[in-house]
Amino acid sequence: MLEIKCPYCGKRSQNEFSYGGDATIKRPQLGEEISTEDWDNFVYYRDNPRGKHSELWHHVSGCRQWFKVSRDTATHEIFDTCKMNEDFNV
Amino acid sequence: MSNSFRTTNSTGLINKDKKINFTFNGTIYHGYEGDTLASALIANGVHLVGRSFKYHRPRGFLGVGVEEPNAMVQLHDGNKSEPNIIATEVELVEGLKAKSQNCWPSVQFDIGEINNVLNRFFPAGFYYKTFMWPKSFWMKIYEPFIRKAAGMGKAPLLPDPDRYEHNYEHCDVLVVGSGPSGLASALAAAKNGARVILAEDKPNFGGSLLTDEVTIGNMSGKEWASDTISQLKSMPNVILKKRSQVFGYYDHNMTVMIERVSDHIENPSKYTPRQRLHYIRAGEVIVSTGSIERPISFGNNDRPGIVLASAAKEYMKVYETLVGKKPIIFTNNDTAYSTALEFIKNDIEPIIVDTRDSSNGELVKEVQQKGISIKFNSGIADTKGHLKINSAIIGKLDSSKESFISEETVECDCICMSGGWTPTVHLSSQAGNKLKFNDDIDAFVPDKKRQKETAIGAANGSFTLNQSLAEGFQVGFDLSNKFTDQNNPTNSPNSNEPSYEKHEKLWCMPLPSGKKPKRFIDFQNDVAVSDVELAIREGFRSIEHVKRYTTLGMAGDQGKTSNLNGLQYVSKIEKKIVPEVGHTTFRPPYTPVTIGAIVGREVGNHYLPTRKSPIHTWHEENNAVFVAAGLWQRPRYYPRGSEDMNTAVNREAANVRKNVGICDVTTLGKIDIKGPDAPEFLNRVYTNAWLKLPVGKARYGVMLREDGMVFDDGTTSRLSENHFHMTTTTAQAANVLSHLEYYLQVVWPDLDVNVLSTTEQWSGIAVAGPKSRDLLSKLFPDVDMSNEGLPFMGLVDSSIDGIKARIYRISFSGELAYEVNVESNYGLYIWKKIMEEGQSFDIQPYGTEALSTLRIEMGHVAGAELDGRTIPFDVGLNSMVSQKKDFIGKRSLSKDAFTESDRQTIVGLVPLDKKTKIPEGSHIIEDNSAVAPIPKLGHVSSSCWSVEYNNPFSIAIIKDGKNKIGKNLYAVSPLKDISIPVEVVSSHYVDPEGSRVRS
């Protein structure tokens, strides 16, 4: 079980959180003309890197904030966590 | 036989003043307090404890602790029965019952032993090769047969009556194992102020110090251990745990430890758990798990009476028990000589067989000084004795040590073997440590760590006491310094132990001349040298493949005594060095763990939390039958007298259509939405328009996922300019909240909106039916309940007996209906009040079944239709989709697949005979006489008995549904083996114009 540092609450056990996928995905603007291919890339396609991955987690059994986690998908090492409006330090 | 194998000394850890009676295979024996089942059986001369996994060979004890691969027994009877328990780990307790497993009719005479005679037909990979064809034989003949013949004990079929608990711990330093290095590191870390947990699997702390003749400072090893434990006990920053096995090392330094709390207590109190599972998140983990002695492979090396030399010594020193009275010590190293000396102390002269040419070790000299001759350059070729060893064939090795020059038969009643020592690296390996091979000790040791884990002492390959203590004190201090600023090191005391000469790299004896007895490597999985040879001959090269083909090192044992001997043999055949062969993965758990401990208290009613509405007690008092809706308990129906479900549901539903019904809808999700951008946010979340919703009005809304599928629906009301009250379905309440938070926090943080769940703050009561207006007018005389005063989708605040109430005119049943919301604590009071006033209107409560009937008849969609595979157009929600604005998931709706004209869409179905209820999940097909595969047009999502028309009615989602209306098709349920001719009708079966809700 991972230990994740919520930027609002501090270190907590993984079972307080839910995973929210790739944090680098940007939703297309509302009303934007967009090709089916670009839309499909947004909805369905995700990179599946081995190594460093920037991802979203939700402190669902805690402060209910979404935040960013930089995690190694192979070793589970967590390099950094930050609020949505912040950038990782490492 | 009564403890005839006890020694006369009393230097061990058993209490000969306290007898304990126990039963093994129906015979009553006694042992003493402090015994294990294993030591007590051996003291009574019982070595035959079970039959081996594959060949059903007679097996006895090999070890003395967790390393024991053979002596697995079935404990207790009935609901307490437990299979595959290692007898060396069971503390003796009065009345203990144990029996052998994997044998029939008895362990002495086992029919399955025919497998041993036929062993040449059961080589490695036997199952894969033999049972491949004919294919149809697998499930019916081979598989049941193999299951019966192979395998081990029997799992009980009754529920486990015992109590198991979970505990979460945090500490700075967790020390696993209380041998010299573990004690040293715990002491150093604790003295330096760190919070320390010291875990020991056995009932006594001390590890090898309990059996080794050493001195530390001015004390014996055993005294030093006991002194150190007393020091640790007195420190408030230390938790000492014995009978506690750390069996798993997971991510982020999370370890899991199982504590045997009460198995050793004769009459534990009712609420004492049997076992406790500790989740320990440690800042640093010190792995001081010691080492395990390696067996040697030689002909028939698995007979009862053949044990590890260290085990024989521990039985003598700790349990005052002799494994035999005519022992042979067989070794490739010096450590086994301490076992020889222990026998000599008990006036027994062992025969010593040493593969080496010579040794000048201190212990060897001591043995020689006692006048014992040693057969150097010799090995055991084979053994005899069916149920217990009675003699060994000792051979003189040639110079290459590849064959025997001469052989002699020697009587014996036990063989104590030693192939050197293997560091217990399981936890380090589980933690992700890349092990390295240490040539000096011919074993893997931890190397590059991935987590905060440090192996010390024998687990790190440091086999001398001096090294172990030095590492312990140093590492304990260094690691604790990360957590404290006391900087208070503890010096390592001087220690004294015998010197040892090097072991010989020889773990497999040549075959005796003219014979091919099995030479076992893995006792638990019945893997012999010949199986490894065969696997390699057949082309299995990777050690992982050899493992799977032969089953070497698998299962509960995890190769504790067999892994390295297997690797060594593969490397010998392949002519590769061991590090090139590599090693297999060590997996948790290190020792078997009961399912009960893993489950803990999450059994029965504690399996899941239960959510109850504030009106729950009334439902109970009024005979409600409950149904689980997620975590909620909801009334399903309220039978009267001897009514069955159908009768009750039809009565309840018909009463709503005719008079008035009342339904507890507290479970619906409720979300409070506030902020200047709230209308804009709802406009993006829902498919329909929200900007112009007037204050005091509710609106039905549908929300999608980005992939266009309907996610949830519900009504949302505007309470004031910037304040909305959203309702969700019961099932999706939590997911909708997360969804809203995601869009507000991640996607559109510029929107000034706050959302908060208020599901538990409001109690909701639906009042539905033609008489609902009259009833509510009576309850709320101040409110104008007329169609003009409170129109459909209107809402008004009022009060009843001083309790604030909000009345929404919304309807799920399709009838004229209201929903009264009050603060939760008043839910029960208001419900009773409505029931009381409702008597004169023939009010009846209705449950979720009638609720479904009413909505199905009306063609209102719910979870069965909104199953994550339907877009709004599929389920008749076309009018809900705004063409003017963008919203979550809108772009997906214009994708090719979603705009095809013949998509599966919602319809109604009525059976032609107007009698047969159509099972939910039935397939819809066009031609009942067609030959498979028959094209499937769709499926039945919801079914009910229409109380309006008094015949069955179903909602289905079928291909090109709109154009099928009026056609006759078939609903087939292969599960129930029925085929029902049906007519396709509109899904809006009752009141398609929706006039009732607006009446």
Quote the ipTM score: 0.98
Dump pLDDT digits (tens) for B904-918. Answer: 999 999 999 999 999
- Exposure of A68 in the CB half-sphere (CA atoms within 13 A): 20
User: Taking CB atoms and an 8 Å cutoff, what residues of chain B touch A39?
Assistant: 891-892, 895
Give residue B926's pLDDT: 94
Q: Inter-chain contact A43–B746, Cβ cutoff 8 Å? A: no
HSE of B689 in the Cβ direction (CA atoms, 13 Å)? 9
Is the model's pLDDT at B151 over the cut of 60? no
d(CA B827, CA B844): 17
- Cβ distance of B746 and A56 shorter than 8 Å: yes
Q: What is the mean pLDDT of residues B703-722?
A: 97
Q: Roughly what angle, to the nearest 10 degrees, separates helices B543-550 and B529-537?
A: 120
User: What is d(CA B413, CA B5) in angstroms, rounded to the nearest whole number?
Assistant: 12
Q: Which residues of B touch A2 (CB under 8 A)?
A: 251-252
Q: Is the pLDDT of residue B556 over 80?
A: no
CA–CA dist B18, B143 (Å, integer) = 48
Q: How many helices (H) and strands (E) does chain B have?
A: 26, 50
In a domain, A89, yes or no: no
Give B297-326 as a DSSP string: B-TTTTSTTEEEHHHHHHHHHTT-B-S-SS
B582 band by pLDDT with thresholds 50, 70 and 90: confident
What's the rounded Cα separation, in Å, for the pair B524 and B530? 16
Percent above pLDDT 70 for chain B: 96
Indicate the domain borders of chain B: 1-158, 164-291+423-496, 295-419, 504-606, 608-667+761-846, 669-758, 854-877+896-985
Q: How does DSSP assign B821-850, residue by residue?
A: EEEGGGHHHHHHHHHHHHGGGTEEE--HHH
Chain A to chain B Cβ contacts (< 8 Å):
56
From the candidates A16, A30, A41, A60, which should be mutated to test the interface with B, based on the most B CB atoms within 10 A? A30
- Looking at the DSSP assignment, which residues form a beta bridge with residue B92? none
What b/e sequence results for B420-456 when a residue is b if at least 16 CB atoms lie within 10 Å of its CB, and e otherwise? bbbbbbbbbbbbbbebebeeebbbbbbeebebbbbbb
Average pLDDT over residues B930-943: 92
How many alpha carbons lie under 13 Å from residue B416 in its C-beta half-sphere? 30
- Residue B433 scores a pLDDT above 70: yes
Residue A62, min C-alpha distance to chain B (Å)? 12
pLDDT for position B28: 96
Q: In CATH, what number does B504-606 get?
A: 1.10.10.1100
Considering only CB atoms, B738 lies closest to which of A36, A58, A76, namely A58
Predicted confidence at residue B137, as pLDDT, reads 65
CATH superfamily, region B164-291+423-496: FAD/NAD(P)-binding domain (3.50.50.60)
User: What kind of fold does domain B295-419 have according to CATH?
Assistant: FAD/NAD(P)-binding domain (3.50.50)
Residue of A nearest to B250 (CA): A1
Residue B133 has pLDDT above 70, yes or no: no
Phi-psi region of B788 (alpha: psi -120 to 50; beta: other; left: phi over 0): alpha
* Consecutive H or E run containing B892: helix B890-893
In contact, A13 and A3? CB cutoff 8 Å: yes
Helix B465-480 vs helix B180-191: angle between axes, to the nearest 10 degrees?
30
Residue A90 maps to a domain: no
Q: Measured between CB atoms, which of A2, A34, A36 is closest to B251?
A: A2
Confidence of residue B119 (pLDDT cuts 50, 70, 90): low
In a domain, A88, yes or no: no
Asked if A43's CB is within 8 angstroms of B706's CB, the reply is yes
Structural domain that includes position A62: 3-27+36-83
**Three-point CA angle B281, B286, B289, nearest 5°:** 115
pLDDT tens sequence across B767-821: 999 999 999 999 999 999 999 999 999 999 999 999 999 999 999 999 999 999 9
- Nearest Cα of chain B lies from the Cα of A30 at a distance, in angstroms, of 6
Q: Which residue has the tokens 């949505």?
A: A84
User: Which residues in chain A have their CB less than 8 angstroms from residue B745's CB?
Assistant: 65-66, 84
Domain B164-291+423-496 and domain B854-877+896-985 have a common topology:
no
Q: What is the pLDDT of residue B880?
A: 96
**Inter-chain CB proximity B279 and A1 less than 8 Å:** yes
Give bridge partners of residue B997 from the DSSP assignment.
none
Residues 6+ apart with CB under 8 A from B757: B669, B670, B671, B672, B733, B737
Nearest CA in chain A to B755: A64
Residue B230 has pLDDT above 70, yes or no: yes
Query: Given this model, what pLDDT does residue B154 score?
Result: 84
Q: Do residue B432 and residue A75 have CB atoms under 8 angstroms apart? A: yes
Chain A interface, best mutation among B170, B745, B898, B899, by max A CB count within 10 A: B745
The candidate with the shortest Cα–Cα distance to B711, out of B680, B692, B687, is B687
Domain count, chain A: 1
What CATH number should be reported for the domain whose range is B608-667+761-846? Answer: 3.30.1360.120
Quote the pLDDT of residue B583.
82
Please report which confidence band the pLDDT of residue B61 belongs to, taking 50, 70 and 90 as the band edges: very high
Q: Which pLDDT score is estimated for B150?
A: 55
pLDDT band of B548, cuts 50, 70, 90: confident
* Residue that has been written with the tokens 């199952």 in this structure: B127
Please give the CATH topology (third level) of the domain spanning B669-758: Alpha-Beta Plaits (3.30.70)
Tokens of B479: 């690691």
Contact B790, B784 (CB under 8 A): yes
Segment holding B488, helix H or strand E: none
pLDDT at B118 over 60: yes
| Domain B854-877+896-985: assigned CATH number | 2.40.30.110
Alpha-carbon distances of B452 from B136, B247, B254, rounded to whole Å: 52, 17, 10
Using alpha carbons only, how large is chain A's radius of gyration in Å? 14
For B861, residues 6+ apart whose C-beta sits below 8 A from its C-beta are B713, B875, B876, B877, B906, B955
Q: Out of A2, A39, A44, whose CB is closest to B891? A: A39
> What angle do helix axes B645-658 and B848-858 make, rounded to 10 degrees?
60
Contacts (Cβ under 8 Å, ≥6 apart) of A60: A16, A17, A18, B738
- Is residue B177 within 8 Å of B155, Cβ to Cβ? no
Quick check: B114 contacting A, CB < 8 Å? no
CATH class of B1-158: alpha beta
Q: B131-145, B330-344, B730-744: which range is least confident on average? A: B131-145
Examine the pLDDT at B138 and tell me if it is beyond 80: no
What does the pLDDT average to over B269-283? 96
| CATH (domain of A64) | 3.30.2270.10
8 A C-beta contact, residue B591 and residue B270: no
- Whether A44 maps to a domain, the answer reads yes
A63–chain B Cβ distance below 8 A for any pair: no
The model's pLDDT over B159-199, given as tens digits with 9 standing for 90+, comes to 999 999 999 999 999 999 999 999 999 999 999 999 999 99
Q: Is B251 on the interface with A (CB under 8 A)?
A: yes
DSSP string covering B490-554, please? -PPPPEE----PPPPS--BPPPPTT-----EEETTTTEEHHHHHHHHHTT--SHHHHHHHH-TT-
Full 3-state SS string of B351-390: EEEECCCCCCCHHHHHHHHCCCCEECCEEEEEEECCCCCC
CB-based contact, A60 to chain B, within 8 Å: yes
Tell if the CB–CB gap between B252 and A1 is shorter than 8 Å: yes
Residue B412 pLDDT greater than 70, yes or no? yes
